Amino acid sequence: MTTPEMPPVDTGNPLLNEGPAILQATPVQTPAGERLALTIKTTTTTLTILLIKDDAGRWRDTITEGVGRMNGLIVANGSMPVNP
């Protein structure tokens, strides 16, 4: 039995909307050693995760790949396309 693939966007989430967002990446010392504190701040939430250097590189690569797949499509009504 396989697990169905999750969609990248939860279209039923009323908090999911376009708006201002801030991404911060700051090296910090933790009891386990140096980590990259990656923080995403939006109008509805703040999320901070601590990444080791290898994981931070994988996140960078994933974001770069995603940006490369974007086609620059702008939706007239401002909503996000589910499958651009």
C-alpha to C-alpha distance for 71 and 22, rounded to whole angstroms: 23
Q: Which amino acid is at 30?
A: T
pLDDT tens digit sequence for 11-57 = 888 777 778 889 999 999 999 999 999 999 988 889 999 999 999 99
Is 34 a domain residue?
A: yes
Question: In terms of Cα–Cα distance, which of 10, 5, 22, 4 is closest to 80?
Answer: 10
Is 33 a domain residue?
A: yes
C-alpha to C-alpha distance for 34 and 70, rounded to whole angstroms: 33
Domain range spanning residue 31? 22-46
Is 82 a domain residue?
A: no
Number of domains in the chain: 1
Is 39 a domain residue?
A: yes
Is 28 a domain residue?
A: yes
Q: Which amino acid is at 69?
A: R
Is 38 a domain residue?
A: yes
Sheet with 46-51, edge to edge strand ranges: 21-30, 33-42, 46-51
Is 7 a domain residue?
A: no
Is 14 a domain residue?
A: no
Higher pLDDT, 1 or 13: 13
